[in-house]
Chain A
Amino acid sequence: MSIHEGLIALGVPLLLGAGILRAAGIGPRDGVFCWLGRLFPVGATALALVLFAFMAGGLSVRSPAPGLVAGLAGGALLFLPRRRTIERYPVEERTHPLARLVAAVLAAFCFVAVAFVCAGDVNRPVHRDDDALIWGMKARYLVHHETFDDALGETLADPTRGGHHLDYPLLNPLLQVWVTTLAGEYDDVAVRYPTMAWLVSFVLLLLGATRRRCGAVTGSLLTLGLVGVGVVWVVGTGAKSDLITALALLGCLDSAARWMDEDGARRHVASCALFAAVLVWSKNEGMMLALAALLAALMTRPRAVVRGLARPSAPWFVVPVAVVLMQWWFNTRYGLVNDLLAGGEGTGGRSLLAVLIENFPRRCGTIARAFAGNMAWVIADDGSIVHRFGYHDGLYLAFLALIALCPRRALAGSTRMVTLTALGGLAAYFLVYVVSYQDLDWHLYTSLPRVQSHLLPAMVLGIALMLRGLRRDARRRISREPART
């Protein structure tokens, strides 16, 4: 892929993202990091929708038309006049210049780390693992057939072609199709580039979310803490969709928490809906986490959530619903079913509930040990405690410890929604392993750190919100103390 093709590959989604954000009334005034971090995810998802529409309409995805349509739509949304609405923005706390400098250095370290990792992978072909066999293979099928035709169905049904989990959502494969059509042929290395753009957006979004909650220095430190976690590199450098899921959940929760904190500002509803679309189209787990987040929001502010859905900004929620319907249409058209929901092998046609009841007592201990082990430490067979930094570097443990130490803070206001989503997500993954038809040890070993990484940014956001609460408590207490003479 040449440099100018690379610029187009990145430029079109960014332009489209900027246009859509402007149409939704989302600008840099909510934080520059946050706005920059939203550009690519929103634009890339919209671009994938355009590609999907072309393929579903029988138009070749190899033509320059999808790119032109996306680019023109982005330009129109960005430059055409729009109705002005009055939006209120929270007053930012003033930061000491020295703190600003320290925060800038820490943020720079985050990007240096990203640059190092991307540079290390820039020439490595994608050729195995889920990157190739799930996501890359599906992209190959789509590029080869160019439209959703009957021949694609034959390829999808042929087990000797090597694709796995063909029912998985199409966002990631369609972005690989975008890169491939620009490059002219399937490029084993260039298919990594969208993931790198997701990684940069992820860091920007996390910086924006945490700095807003607990100050520039602590927010940057938290981001640096997460950027240093080993599993982030596993999901952030290949061609898997796990990073997209993690980013989308973060974007969704960040927007929803802002919406709750800023008294229902309309732009946050739109942002939440757009990230919900990214989330449900990233992986099947994304759908599960979206439901967990919705449930958590209803448990936090039931009336406000129901009222919010009736407001003028609520039509944005058509986007995630449309995405779900489109994926359902594709899977139905080609008879693709989820192996877990379909029962998989060896379940003898029993319902998931029956499998759950039967497996729970047998598997509970093993899964709980694996979950606990992933926090940071694990008890080895000989009883010694083995330090296993490198999975989640203790951030997972820090989040749970903070909940245990100050539960009132963890369940106050918008923090409650984030806390409940993260805990609900953990519970949901626990149940997935209980009903899994795969060999449990193998399934836990190959996937647990990766799928738990979906929740890690949400946990970091939860830590930031709890720190904000603790700081406010402390200030309140100090202001109540009598002056000492």
Chain B
Amino acid sequence: MLDQLRSGKSGVLAIVLTLYITFIGGRVVFHQIEQMRDGSWAQRRTDLALDEDVMARRELGPLAPWIAAIRAKTPEDAVIGVRFLPEHEHEAPGWIASLRFLAWPRRVLTPQEFLDHIGGDGANLDGKCFGLQLPDEEPPFAQRWRVVAKGRGWRLYRWIEEP
């Protein structure tokens, strides 16, 4: 190392770079210790890179009970329309995307897609049709829907086929 230092510009550069890398390496070691002490270093590190988006993807959040209910109470060929509250306008697209992924191979549709699916006269409504309703209000034609699962602030309905 001292020999390199003596050798001029390139030696100094090599030492500066080595010290710099040592500094970065030192931070890794420091964070390892910190993680052992108080939680997930990786999580906080990734938060730095992609902010709250990464934070949110790490847990299922409100999706967890809905997914559990859908997987347990609906057949694999089910068609599930999802209706959110207006205050969920920003989260809704992300939730729909996650629901489509986690409820696969069931089809998860937005309200408009669900209306398109059942047709203008509701001709395609059958026992495979479900509704995940977030507002605490009854769906249209409430007497034809049966609650198959519910939790705080949400209900999962199934369309009752005519006998």
Contact = CB atoms under 8 A, between A and B. Distances in A.
A474 B101 contact: no
Nearest to B27: A228
B20 A398 contact: yes
A214 to B, nearest CB: 9
A129 B40 contact: no
Contact of A160 (B22, B50, B104, B109): B109
B100 A162 contact: yes
A144 interface: yes
B25 interface: yes
Contacts of A307: none
B112 to A, nearest CB: 10
A117 B22 CA distance: 21
Interface residues of B, number: 53
Contacts of A234: 46, 49-50, 54
Contacts of B20: 394, 398
A186 B105 CA distance: 10
B101 A218 contact: no
A221 B18 contact: yes
Contacts of A161: 100, 107
Nearest to B59: A124
Contacts of B43: 120
Interface residues of A, number: 60
A7 B59 CA distance: 27
Interface string A114-127: 00110011001101
Contacts, number: 151
Contacts of A463: 17
Interface string B1-45: 001101111110110011011101101110110010000111101
Interface string A225-257: 101101101100110000000000000000000
A470 to B, nearest CB: 4
SS class, residues of chain A in contact with chain B:
helix
B24 A120 contact: no
A238 B101 CA distance: 15
Interface stretch (A86-94, A132-140, A322-330): A132-140
Contacts of A132: 97-98, 101-102
B104 A140 contact: yes
A218 B22 CA distance: 9
B49 A471 contact: no
A298 to B, nearest CB: 29
Between B10, B22, B94, B107, the greatest number of chain A beta carbons within 10 A of the residue's beta carbon is seen for B10
Given A230-B48, A233-B46, A394-B20, A129 B53 contact: yes
Interface in B107-134: 107-109, 113
Given A109-B25, A127-B98, A136-B101, 8 more contacts: A106-B25, A120-B42, A120-B43, A128-B101, A144-B105, A225-B25, A228-B24, A237-B42
12 contacts: A121-B42, A162-B96, A221-B22, A227-B28, A228-B25, A234-B46, A393-B24, A398-B17, A398-B20, A467-B17, A471-B14, A474-B8
Interface of B: 3-4, 6-11, 13-14, 17-18, 20-22, 24-25, 27-29, 31-32, 35, 40-43, 45-46, 48-50, 53-54, 56-60, 63, 94, 96-98, 100-102, 104-105, 107-109, 113
